[in-house]
DNA sequence: CTGAAAGCGCTTACAG
DNA sequence: CTGAAAGCGCTTACAG
């Protein structure tokens, strides 16, 4: 089933079929109809591989994620897949494993597979490397703000999100609010720390370094953080975890010490993972619109590909109140 | 950077470089060295797209999953990615959305992208459709047992897993064990129901239809199931949920009614999702080796591609005891 | 508007 | 063992 067979069936040349397929040139109506009919009858589907080799467009978009099984980015991948699909593009997912060298290898690989563009979900690549890459191929990157030719970035307001979360706690009367941080290498982690401090300040509360305990964005680190906090004997009535996974770990550590959420300690997370609404108790958290992030990133890519200038903005952070916080007694 | 430049640099013909790259023919040692050196110096990477067009092998494997963001299949996708990678193959993930027609479209698309084989994670495709597909391309399918040319299947013993889970409860002295089922269209759901009944029988317990409440494999359905169970006033001291997601929903419903796990009711899940060890309390469940499933499926594919007959078996089900069950009092 | 032809980067018979 | 050549299924200047 090739373009040649369609051409023969429609009584036109191979080039004409190609042009109709690509909308590359005006074609006489009669021929267009004949070709459309032949395509329909034969059930012809153009071969993206050959297209990629010949024309440069492979109709596929490389997507560099950190881990294909991330509970956090899953929704973004789905958003990308669902908006690319109607446009005829397929995503090619690869995992960077939070490693700049691996991400660089992914890019080489995606190049060799002739992707038409690359979407980078966060990642460790330097801004420079990203900008260089964008010189060859359109790229959309999330988790940073950068302006460079061929590059479009989409960033979430982590500062504001963290400020909102902390403010919720100060509004409830909490004065000793612990913060489980993320690693410093993550720009969003440092932004969230900034937001925490800003909210404290707004509430007229002093920043207490002993109340910030280091975490690493996964459950076990949240557990450990709470255990450390507890054994430090530093008093606290609420915890803001820099992401939901750590909040889940924190809840477990609290539970093991027979401390109840929210009666004994209030807990707020960040991300609003799919599972957080089913936590015990359902977790109050900052909603991060990952599904939309994926959709928007894909839309921006489609616009870049069409030669347009994307004008896409991320939605503002939003606090989702569930059952893990309580007004400070007394 | 093409094969031609390598050939020139090494002073051999283009065909020779290709042969060395593919191990297609014996080559004089001196030439091989020259070529290897040229490849290393130029940093040449063969273009899989061109390879796919010319030779038929695109070095990519289509993977049909149900949802790219499934918390359950994520580990399998990672297993596939990690075992395909060292062999030089890339996975091409597509989502079937539990719909046979969509899966069929995925297969057409994967064909047009010239994948070298297809891995189908469960899915709704008929056995016949799968067998037909395998006539053209090697296919590995999970979640069913089928023997057909070019097809290799990998199935998990859902019956035995469910039997183990239920037996754990009967061993603890529970006599009224509720079962939250999955939908009948899932063969594994019906197998799990069979396992539940078998364990009951072994323990000399009568099967009580009112104790089996329908679910749909997601959290909300688990919640609803428990609410229905509670309002039916049918007494029970333990629940076996046919998957972890429903167990999580069940735990939440119990919590809302101020029923404690495991003090008031014991709870067992099925799957051992990554998050289940962090449930409150950590969930006792049947471990389903998804990461290994992915690895094994990819290995089987690699063997099929090499013309070998895979002899791969799935690990046996295993109960993971955590803190959600307690001996029946009295 | 439309064809014939070259070419994308490889592989693989076909001849030595 | 190794080259020259055809071909994979398309796109895109190049000429009408």
DSSP string, B254-323: HHHTT--TTTT-EEEEEE--GGGGGSSSPPEEEE--HHHHHHHHHHHHHHHHTT------PPPPEEE--S
Whether any strand C atom is under 7 angstroms from the Cβ of A15: the reply reads yes
Whether pLDDT at A27 is above 80: no
Please list every residue in chain B whose beta carbon sits closer than 8 Å to the beta carbon of residue A78.
67-69, 95
| Interface with chain B: mutation pick from A58, A254, A280, A281, highest number of B CBs within 10 Å | A280
CA gap B86, B179 in Å, rounded: 43
pLDDT confidence band for A123 (50 / 70 / 90)? confident
CA gap A84, A60 in Å, rounded: 9
Beta-bridge partner residues of B238: B177, B266
SS3 content of chain B, % helix, strand, coil (to 5): 50, 15, 35
Q: What is the pLDDT of residue A196?
A: 98
What CA–CA distances, in Å, run from A152 to A66, A79, A117, A136, A315? 19, 17, 11, 14, 16
CA gap B317, B289 in Å, rounded: 8
Mean pLDDT confidence for B25-30: 79
Beta-bridge partner residues of B213: B180
Residue with tokens 């255990």: A227
Mean pLDDT confidence for A51-60: 84
Q: What DSSP string describes A101-144?
A: HHHHHHHHHHHHTT-SEEEE-S-S--HHHHHHHHHHS-EEEESS
Interface of A with B in 242-281 (CB under 8 A): 248-249, 251-252, 255, 274-275, 278-281
Whether pLDDT at B113 is above 90: no
Q: What DSSP string describes B239-259?
A: EEESSHHHHHHHHHHHHHTT-
Whether pLDDT at A286 is above 80: yes
Q: Which pLDDT tens digit goes with each residue over B256-275?
A: 999 999 999 999 999 999 99
**How many Cα neighbours within 13 Å face the side chain of B255?**
20
pLDDT confidence band for A243 (50 / 70 / 90)? very high
Nearest to B170, CA basis, from B191, B198, B194: B198
The C-alpha angle B27, B33, B34, rounded to 5 degrees, equals 100
Beta-bridge partner residues of A94: A64
Greater confidence (B25 vs A79) lies with: A79
* B49-61 core/surface letters (b: 16 or more CB in 10 A; e: else): bbbbbeeebbbbb
Would you call B215 an interface residue with chain A, using a CB distance cutoff of 8 Å? no
Please list every residue in chain A whose beta carbon sits closer than 8 Å to the beta carbon of residue B275.
71, 219, 248, 275
Distance of A304 CA from D13 C1′ (whole Å):
25
Please, what is the angle between helix A48-55 and helix B48-55, to 10°?
A: 120
Mean pLDDT confidence for B3-16: 90
Beta-strand relationship, A117-120 and A60-65: parallel
Distance of A27 CA from C9 C1′ (whole Å):
31
Domains of chain A: 3-46 (1.10.260.40), 58-156+290-315 (3.40.50.2300), 158-288 (3.40.50.2300)
Q: What is the pLDDT of residue B270?
A: 98
Whether pLDDT at B30 is above 90: no
Distance of B217 CA from D13 C1′ (whole Å):
57
Q: Within 243-262 of chain B, which residues have Cβ less than 7 Å from strand D?
A: none
pLDDT confidence band for A330 (50 / 70 / 90)? low
Whether pLDDT at A30 is above 90: no
Mean pLDDT confidence for A304-317: 92
For residue B61, give the DSSP letter. E
Whether any strand D atom is under 7 angstroms from the Cβ of B31: the reply reads yes
CA distance, residue B128 to nearest chain A CA (Å): 22
Distance of B59 CA from C9 C1′ (whole Å):
15
Mean pLDDT confidence for B40-66: 87
pLDDT confidence band for A45 (50 / 70 / 90)? confident
Burial of B269 (0-12, 13-18, 19+ CB in 10 A): buried
Burial of B218 (0-12, 13-18, 19+ CB in 10 A): middle
Contact A45 B278 (CB under 8 A): no
Beta-strand relationship, A318-320 and A266-271: unpaired
Shortest CB distance from A67 goes to which of B67, B78, B93? Answer: B78
Q: What is the mean pLDDT of chain A?
A: 93
Look at chain B and count its residues.
Answer: 330
Distance of B48 CA from C6 C1′ (whole Å):
22
CA gap A68, B76 in Å, rounded: 10
Whether pLDDT at A44 is above 90: no
Closest chain A residue by Cα to residue B115: A49
Q: What is the pLDDT of residue B45?
A: 83
Mean pLDDT confidence for B133-140: 92
| % of chain A residues with pLDDT over 90 | 71
Q: What is the pLDDT of residue A239?
A: 98
Q: If you count DSSP H runs as helices and E runs as strands, how many of each does chain B have, helices first? A: 12, 11
CA gap A196, A163 in Å, rounded: 5
> What residue has its CA nearest to the C1' of D5?
B15
Q: Within 40-99 of chain B, which residues have Cβ less than 7 Å from strand C?
A: 44, 46-47, 50-51, 53-57
Question: Who's near A305: CB < 8 A, 6+ residues apart?
Answer: A116, A117, A138
Would you call B155 an interface residue with chain A, using a CB distance cutoff of 8 Å? no
| % of chain A residues with pLDDT over 70 | 100
Mean pLDDT confidence for B60-77: 91
Please list every residue in chain B whose beta carbon sits closer than 8 Å to the beta carbon of residue A280.
251-252, 255, 279-280
| % of chain B residues with pLDDT over 90 | 71
Residue with tokens 């089900």: B317
Mean pLDDT confidence for A279-301: 97
Q: What is the pLDDT of residue B330?
A: 64
Rg of chain A in Å (alpha carbons): 25
What's the token pair of residue B123? Answer: 């899915």
Mean pLDDT confidence for B129-155: 93
Beta-bridge partner residues of A270: A286
Mean pLDDT confidence for A129-140: 92
> What residue has its CA nearest to the C1' of C11?
B55
Q: Which pLDDT tens digit goes with each residue over B209-259?
A: 999 999 999 999 999 999 999 999 999 999 999 999 999 999 999 999 999
Greater confidence (A39 vs B195) lies with: B195
Whether pLDDT at B43 is above 90: no
């Amino acid at each position: 089933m090739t373009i040649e067979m369609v051409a023969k069936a429609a009584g036109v040349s191979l080039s004409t079929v190609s042009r109709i397929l690509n909308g590359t040139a005006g074609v006489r109506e009669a021929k267009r109809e004949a070709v459309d009919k032949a395509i329909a009858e034969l059930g012809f589907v153009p071969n993206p591989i050959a297209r990629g080799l010949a024309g440069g467009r492979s109709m596929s978009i490389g997507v560099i994620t950190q881990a294909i099984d991330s509970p956090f980015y899953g929704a973004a991948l789905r958003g990308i897949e669902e908006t690319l699909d109607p446009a005829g593009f397929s995503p090619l997912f690869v995992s960077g494993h939070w490693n700049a060298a691996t991400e660089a290898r992914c890019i080489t690989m995606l190049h060799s597979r002739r992707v038409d563009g690359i979407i980078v979900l966060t990642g460790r690549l330097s801004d420079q490397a990203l900008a260089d890459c964008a010189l060859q191929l359109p790229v959309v990157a999330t988790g940073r703000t950068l302006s460079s030719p061929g590059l479009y970035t989409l960033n979430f307001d982590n500062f504001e999100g963290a400020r909102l979360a902390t403010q919720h706690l100060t509004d409830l009367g909490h004065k000793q609010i612990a913060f489980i941080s993320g690693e410093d290498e993550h720009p969003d982690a440092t932004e969230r720390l900034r937001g925490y401090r800003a909210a404290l300040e707004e509430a007229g509360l002093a920043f207490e370094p002993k109340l910030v305990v280091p975490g690493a964005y996964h459950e076990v680190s949240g557990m450990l953080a709470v255990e450390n906090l507890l054994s430090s004997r530093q008093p606290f009535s609420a915890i803001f975890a820099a992401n939901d996974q750590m909040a889940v770990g924190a809840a477990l550590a609290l539970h093991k010490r027979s401390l109840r959420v929210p009666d004994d300690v209030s807990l707020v997370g960040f991300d609003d993972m799919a599972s957080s609404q089913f936590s015990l108790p359902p977790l109050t958290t900052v909603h991060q619109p990952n599904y939309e992030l994926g959709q928007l990133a894909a839309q921006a890519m489609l616009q870049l590909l069409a030669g347009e200038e994307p004008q896409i903005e991320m939605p503002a952070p939003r606090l989702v109140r569930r059952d893990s916080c309580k007004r400070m007694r007394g």
